[in-house]
Chain A
Amino acid sequence: MSGNFEVIGSRAPRKDAPNKSTGKARYIEDIKFPGELAGALLQSPQAHAKIKRIDISRAQALPGVVAVITAQDVPDVKYGVSPARYDETLFAVDRVRYVGDEIAAVAAEDLATAQRAVEFIEVEYEPLPVLLTVEQATAEGAPWLHEQFPDNVCAQVEQEFGDVEAAFAGCDLIQEGSFFSKRQDGAFIEPNQCVALMDSDGVLNLHSSTQVPHYVQRTLAMVTGLNMSKVRVVKPYVGGGFGPKASATPIDLAAGFLAMKTGRPVRMAYTREQVFLFSRARHGFTHHMKIGVKKDGTLMALDHRATLDGGAYSSFGIATVYYAGSLLGGPYKLPNMRYHGLRVFTNKPACGAQRGHGGVIARALFEQQMDVIAERLGMDPIELRLKNMMETGDVTCNDLAMSSLGMRECIEAVKNGSGWDQKKGKLPKGKGIGMACGFFVSGAGYPIYRSETYHCTIMIKADEDGGGIVVYTASAEIGQGSETTMAMIAAEAVGIPYEQVRVKSGDTDFGIDLGAYSSRTTLMTGHATKEAGENLKAMILETLAQELEIDQSRLDIKNGLIKISGDPVDFSAIRIGYIKEHRGWQDQPSGDELTFREAARLAYLRRGTLVSTGKYKPPVLGGKYKGAAVGTSPAYGCSAQVAEVSVDFETGQIKVERITDAHDCGQAVNLTSVEAQMQGSVSMGLGEALFEEVKFDGQGRILNPSLGEYHIPTVMDMPETKCIVVESGEPNGPFGAKEVGEGAIMPTIPAILNAVRNATGLVLDETPLTPERVYLAIKKQKGA
């Protein structure tokens, strides 16, 4: 696909990698302020209880304690992720709803004292019935976790597109299946942490390990009652996020209040156990699907029910429950779809968004059922998929527009790349091969709060000496490589080498950016960066054209050199001027082309500091029905994967031996980063498929809140992963680019499920596929 690019599509080394490789990169834990206090949280040991009494006097009396705050000390403001579902208070007012619910916070001279003070706070609880499952929470007479949500229903979705019943009546084959998944944890390696301090301008500064400085700023401002301009959020390097870091945490807010109260910087950090308690990660899903097809394999209708065990608060859940339905609209042509979604409150930590938000398990079941349908029809699973695949330009029944869709290319790529034809049906006993497809948004079409706000703004400033440019963006580099991506886009747009671009990011003082979620940054922030870059270029060329007294249309900048079309133009006056200004420098411009350096310097001399801006918000997208916003996006990335597994029939152990992965990212801005996202997605999907499950005891306490007992893949668990990048050229993306960060996880679980089915004949309906689950299923199959 690649157009004629100088920088885009290369494997430019990441801007942050050298510092990260030497230990110089600074994360929150590496940034210290003079006079810091240490904060600690009191969290509920009970899953559901009334608070009868809180006594902080002993804690306050402890030497070294500077402040203790509870619900009484902060405004009674509810917050959350979605304004329609604000249901959290920083500290429990009269009730705790999960083990870990926040009750109080302490600031002290050192952490040990703060932690001791927390132990000195006395709380009297009156236990309430603990509701740990959807069944318990929806049973007759179950107490409601929140008065405003009857029957513990957080959200309910009813959607129908087309006429599902009529379509089923005309189908030749109906396939039904269910799936049960478990709650996951984000398991980013850097636990959430923050430092808050008031500066001399009266601005509350919060340095936080977050994916979304802007939303944290808004929440902190709203909860403290400050204006947005009195709250600044800065995000240094962040050790991964994957979704759970996409909203303000109680420590962000508590540190803010404690800093305001004490006038000193306050640092708060979650331990690994507290990361599990805060959670906000993938829900546990239950899905039932009924799919109708014609004899020739044409998909006709889907009836889909999903239930989400949401935990104690809404968090992202309203979006999650919509995504779980809407993301089945594609990538296959599906004229009729009905969705019934239900998210229920339980006395467990709130679930939220995680890579592949809402769609991962729905996709897993659907793709598994596609394989079963193929077998029942006597078709090859790839043939069935290709038969139903949407094409570029198609619109799903729920109004999602596929402005580019390289699904066919992805399928062909993994088919050839894995040796599918040589392997399928020809593998020895115990080995299996399976494939699956998936797609995902390139940025949510709408902000989380209702607003006409731009989703991102960019400022680019040219160095006054013309040596390079600085891109200022409030976007969040959390490891995905967005700083590098923006540097590459800016370099391409301005026409200068990548090395001449510096990026300053992650600071709400730099503008608006909704943050790193929904795989939005490359497309959205990329658009704004491209626009700002083009504007800067235009400013420079305008001045240059005036100076040279030629038409601006004859000028361009490429690779740091000014390209002048038509007759030769004498620019010696500009060069001489530049050289005179820089006597003593050894690297004076030379050669028979004018350089960017000279042109940008000239523009500065004529107009002052050159600052250009860019902005982006998507056009109005999607349909008119209730919930139509969720799932909309200016573009969709898509992928196909083939998994090869071996199954140990005697223990039930599964080993994933190889993954072949193809992803259509529109246009790779940085090829290495695209592959890196694909590989990272595969490992998270593999972990969810085989190992990961947050477990609770009967009192709602987490049984495995550690990275020792909550198992994410180690390097020894990872198969070799072959990545093939497909570039369909997205018309709505900057330089044709769209997402890769989340779409790439979509096929992983079903590809593994289908490979395991190929090896064993088993249609497994519960993840993770632990040895025990697989073994029991094999045993049952033998007995049957």
Chain B
Amino acid sequence: MLLPSFDYYRPQSLPEALSLLGEMGEDARPLAGGTDLLVNLKLKKLAPKVLLDLGGLEELKGNRADDGLVSLGALDTASRLASGGPEVPGLLAMGAGALGSPQVRNRATLGGNLVTARPAADICLPLLALGAKAVLAGPNGEREVALDGYFKGPGYTVKEAGEILTRVILDAPRPGVGGGYQKLGLRQAMEIALVNVAAHLELEDDGKTVALARVALGAVAPFPMLSPGAASALIGKPAQETCFSEAAEAAAAEARPIDDHRGSAAYRRDMVRTLTLRALRQALSQAQGNQEAQA
């Protein structure tokens, strides 16, 4: 399969990249791991004149922890995220580890996943549930955008053409916080989810009461979505089956699935319920586990 013709640039700094992007406007596309972009070029869905390889930009690399927050570089690959590390929340590692195949994970980046914004994106869901913010650098400097509100449609976000996603910022992993990730597909690998759910739970010091919760749903809306109803069914309640079931019901009610050849809306809605419940159980056991480990 042939790639169409394009020019290739590899800027060495973010300012250089931004100015190239500014000059060329819509004709240029940033290239990170290429696992979405190059496929789309081959399938003739896109035909940019220029690819701007972000691989040389130090500003987009490396993870930093600082003052209870972590900042993850846009070029972090799914493989590196999946292998964890002190800055990487367990939930994100689970999502990244469920993406594609080893070869794809070795190339696919966090930034590419957030910009492509597939409805079932395996890195977007955990980040959304973790309350992360994307840092977008543009001609007029940087802005931080909460992911809740960042997604607009499949492949469509608040990021503007002249902007580059440099990093995401989120709370550092800490005791009493846990995540659960559930992905349903046909195969055990190489699957875009039929439905996926990421759940994030923060417990009070009592180890029982839910202080904060977010449930993100994939493949049931035009883009990864949060279920506010699930969150409010949980917050302030004792973390246990009753409120988990209510949260799962709320998530199922709020999901906006459609029928397509991969599955029916009705099935997807039922699966949101099941997977939310499972993700919450998983999140609770992780939260309690690391709280005990701390104690």
Answer yes or no: A and B touching, Cβ < 8 Å: yes
A125 touches B (CB below 8 Å): no
B186 touches A (CB below 8 Å): yes
B187 touches A (CB below 8 Å): yes
Knowing A112-B2, A115-B2, the reply to whether A771 touches B184 (Cβ < 8 A) is: yes
* Residue among A697, A716, A775 making CB contact with B267, cutoff 8 Å: A775
A175 touches B (CB below 8 Å): no
A690 touches B (CB below 8 Å): yes
Residue of A nearest to B278 (CB): A650
Knowing A112-B2, A776-B267, the reply to whether A651 touches B187 (Cβ < 8 A) is: no
* Residue among A112, A272, A651, A714 making CB contact with B190, cutoff 8 Å: A714
A575 touches B (CB below 8 Å): no
Q: How far is the CA of A715 from the CA of B101 in the complex (A)?
A: 11
A135 touches B (CB below 8 Å): no
CB pair A650–B274 under 8 Å, yes or no, is yes
- Interface SS of chain B: loop
CB contact list, B248-287 vs A, under 8 A: 261, 263-264, 267, 270-271, 274-275
CB pair B184–A708 under 8 Å, yes or no, is no
Knowing A111-B2, A650-B274, A651-B274, the reply to whether A771 touches B188 (Cβ < 8 A) is: no
Residue of B nearest to A704 (CB): B261
B89 vs chain A, min Cβ distance (A): 25
Q: How far is the CA of A115 from the CA of B3 in the complex (A)?
A: 12
Residue of B nearest to A775 (CB): B267
CB pair B187–A772 under 8 Å, yes or no, is no
Chain B residues within an 8 Å CB radius of A713: 187
Chain A residues within an 8 Å CB radius of B192: 708
A304-341 to B contact mask, C-beta < 8 Å, 1/0: 00000000000000000000000000000000000000
B1 touches A (CB below 8 Å): yes
CB pair A653–B187 under 8 Å, yes or no, is no
A658 vs chain B, min Cβ distance (A): 16
A770 touches B (CB below 8 Å): yes
B250 vs chain A, min Cβ distance (A): 18
A650-688 to B contact mask, C-beta < 8 Å, 1/0: 110100000000000000000000000000000000000
B243 touches A (CB below 8 Å): no
Q: How far is the CA of A653 from the CA of B2 in the complex (A)?
A: 37
A691 touches B (CB below 8 Å): yes
CB pair B188–A772 under 8 Å, yes or no, is no
Residue of B nearest to A712 (CB): B187
B177 vs chain A, min Cβ distance (A): 26
Chain B residues within an 8 Å CB radius of A776: 267
CB pair B2–A772 under 8 Å, yes or no, is no
A624 vs chain B, min Cβ distance (A): 47
Count of residues in A whose CB is under 8 Å from the partner chain: 26
Residue of B nearest to A768 (CB): B186
Chain A residues within an 8 Å CB radius of B1: 271-272
A684 vs chain B, min Cβ distance (A): 15
A495 vs chain B, min Cβ distance (A): 48
Count of residues in B whose CB is under 8 Å from the partner chain: 20
Q: How far is the CA of A443 from the CA of B101 in the complex (A)?
A: 39
Q: How far is the CA of A115 from the CA of B2 in the complex (A)?
A: 10
Knowing A703-B261, A704-B261, the reply to whether A653 touches B184 (Cβ < 8 A) is: yes
CB pair A714–B263 under 8 Å, yes or no, is no
A701-715 to B contact mask, C-beta < 8 Å, 1/0: 001100010010111
Residue of B nearest to A655 (CB): B188
* Residue among A111, A650, A690 making CB contact with B186, cutoff 8 Å: A690
A617 touches B (CB below 8 Å): no
CB pair A714–B2 under 8 Å, yes or no, is no
Q: How far is the CA of A704 from the CA of B1 in the complex (A)?
A: 17
B194 touches A (CB below 8 Å): yes
Chain B residues within an 8 Å CB radius of A772: 194, 263-264, 267
CB pair A775–B270 under 8 Å, yes or no, is yes
* Residue among A272, A651, A708 making CB contact with B271, cutoff 8 Å: A651
CB pair A716–B189 under 8 Å, yes or no, is yes
Chain A residues within an 8 Å CB radius of B190: 708, 711, 714
CB contact list, B149-203 vs A, under 8 A: 184, 186-192, 194
CB pair B188–A716 under 8 Å, yes or no, is yes
A695 touches B (CB below 8 Å): yes
Q: How far is the CA of A272 from the CA of B275 in the complex (A)?
A: 34
Q: How far is the CA of A775 from the CA of B266 in the complex (A)?
A: 11
A122 touches B (CB below 8 Å): no
CB pair A717–B187 under 8 Å, yes or no, is yes
Residue of B nearest to A715 (CB): B189
Knowing A115-B2, A695-B261, the reply to whether A711 touches B187 (Cβ < 8 A) is: yes
Chain A residues within an 8 Å CB radius of B186: 690-691, 711, 770-771
Supply 7 A–B pairs (Cβ within 8 Å), ascending by A: A115-B2, A691-B187, A711-B187, A711-B191, A714-B190, A771-B184, A776-B267
Contacts from A to B (Cβ < 8 Å): 111-112, 115, 271-272, 650-651, 653, 690-691, 695, 697, 703-704, 708, 711, 713-717, 770-772, 775-776
Extra contacts, 10 of them, besides A650-B274, A691-B187, A771-B186 (Cβ < 8 A), are A651-B271, A690-B186, A691-B186, A711-B191, A716-B188, A717-B187, A770-B186, A772-B194, A775-B270, A776-B267
Nearest 9 pairs of A and B residues by beta carbon:
A716-B188, A772-B267, A650-B274, A714-B189, A716-B189, A703-B261, A695-B261, A691-B186, A711-B186
